[in-house]
């Protein structure tokens, strides 16, 4: 089994990456393979609304000259998908929105090709707006017929400068339990015994 995670921050290896890695650590303890894809610095644009994905139905976005199709391929191959974003103006980053719009529309156009995969959203925040960002990412999972595990709080960690979230123990605990619950759910879905 494999989980692929996307860090939508414009800042590589920052707070969002730290939070995601804390979830991935728990998944790996349970024998689940993981991959972190960081969108920072990658060539990415938003949906152009050409609707060609509905004509082509080839599990690809019709805009082929940027990074998004490689992300979509990784989503198709994975059993679980984590979307992580910093809070930018009380919402997700531009990069994460582009990924959601294009992977989401491609999925819906292809008979909801991501359905019944396990999905989870993770947010880094300095102070306010993280719930909105969290909800924005969850919309991707729910309309795509994906299955979303919970944790002991909404999946967020508090911090501003790189590394600050390491001081947010409740945030780190939330990531740990999220990873445990995601692993539990994946094993149930794939018929492996667990507690």
Ligand X SMILES: Cc1cc2nc3c(=O)[nH]c(=O)nc-3n(C[C@H](O)[C@H](O)[C@H](O)COP(=O)(O)O)c2cc1C
14 binds ligand X (CB under 6 A): yes
Cβ closest to ligand X, residue 72 vs residue 124: 124
Taking a C-beta distance cutoff of 8 angstroms, is the pair 22, 16 a contact?
no
56: its two tokens: 């082509």
d(CA 147, CA 159): 28
Interface map 68-97 toward ligand X (x if CB under 6 A): ------------------xxxxx-------
178 binds ligand X (CB under 6 A): no
Q: Is 134 in the site for ligand X (CB under 6 A)?
A: no
125 touches ligand X (CB under 6 A): yes
Alpha helices in 4-144 (DSSP H): 15-29, 52-56, 68-77, 94-109, 130-143
**Nearest CB to ligand X, comparing residues 71 and 122:** 122
Q: Is residue 124 within the footprint of ligand X (CB under 6 A)? A: yes
> Which tokens hold the place of 76?
């198709």
Say how far apart CA 141 and CA 156 lie, in whole Å. 17
Q: Output 111 or 167, the one with its CB closest to ligand X.
A: 167
Q: What is the rounded distance in angstroms from the CA atom of residue 103 to the CA atom of residue 22?
A: 25
Residue number of the CB closest to ligand X reads 14
Binding site for ligand X (CB under 6 A): 9, 11, 14-16, 86-90, 124-129, 159-160, 162
């Amino acid at each position: 089994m494999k989980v692929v995670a996307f860090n939508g921050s414009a800042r590589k290896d920052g707070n969002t990456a730290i939070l995601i890695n804390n979830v991935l650590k728990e998944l790996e303890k349970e024998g689940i393979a993981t991959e972190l894809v960081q969108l920072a610095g990658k060539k990415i644009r938003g949906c152009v609304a050409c609707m060609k994905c509905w004509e082509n139905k080839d599990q690809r976005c019709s805009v082929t000259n940027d990074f998004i199709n490689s992300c979509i391929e990784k989503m198709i191959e994975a059993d679980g998908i984590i979307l992580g974003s910093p809070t930018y103006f009380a919402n997700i980053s531009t990069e994460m929105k582009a990924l959601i719009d294009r992977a989401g529309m491609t999925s819906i156009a292809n008979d909801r090709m991501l359905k019944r995969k396990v999905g989870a959203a993770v947010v880094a925040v300095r102070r306010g707006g993280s719930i909105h960002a969290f909800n924005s990412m969850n919309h991707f999972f729910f309309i795509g017929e994906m299955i979303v595990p919970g944790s002991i709080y909404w999946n967020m960690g508090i911090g501003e400068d790189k590394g600050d979230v390491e001081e947010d123990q409740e945030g780190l605990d939330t990531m740990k339990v999220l990873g445990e619950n995601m692993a539990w759910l994946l094993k149930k879905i794939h018929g492996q015994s667990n507690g």
